[in-house]
Amino acid sequence: MNRPPVHGPSVAEFEIAPGPTAPGAARRAVGLLTTTLPPSVGDDLRLIASELVTYGLLNRATGDAPLILRLARTDGSTRLEIAAGRGSSDLEGAELLGRDDGAAIRLKLISMVADRWGVETRDGVVIWLEIDDRATDL
C-alpha cells in the first residue's frame, strides 16, 4: 500500500506508568502512529518498545516515576526513545543491556531492526534507536 510522504518532523511523547501493564501501554502508544508508519517499521517499533520498557522497569531505581516513550518521525526515518528520568543512575548505559537473562535476545532484536542505536545520559538515561524506511514498505 502506498503511503503519502511525511514532510518535516513529527514527534509524539507518552508517559508509561510502571507496573505489569507498561509493556502493553508502550505497544499501544506506538500503535497509535501506525497509520503514518511503514507497516514493518511499526511492527518492529512495537516489539522493541515493549522490550525496552520491560528492561527499563526491571533495571531502574525504585519509585513510581513513569518512563517516557518518544517517537520522532522525519522524512525516511523513525526514532524511538525510552527515557528513565533522574534517579535512574542504575541504568548505566549500553553495557547494562547485556547484564540480565534477556540480554542476548534484547541485543539481537535491537541489532536486527535498528539502523542506529545508542544510549545517552541527559536528565537520566535515554535508550534510543532509529529505523529507516525500507524500499519495500513504500
pTM score, two decimals?
A: 0.77
Q: Is 59 exposed, middle or buried (0-12, 13-18, 19+ CB in 10 A)?
A: middle
Please provide the average confidence, as pLDDT, over all residues in the chain: 75
Q: What is the pLDDT of residues 16-57, one digit of tens each?
A: 988 889 999 999 998 887 667 778 888 889 988 988 888 777
- Dihedral over Cα of 132, 134, 135, 138: its sign: negative
Q: CATH says 10-137 is which class?
A: alpha beta
Q: What's the Cα-to-Cα distance from 76 to each of 28, 107, 118, 119, rounded to whole Å?
A: 22, 24, 19, 22
- Dihedral over Cα of 90, 92, 94, 96: its sign: negative
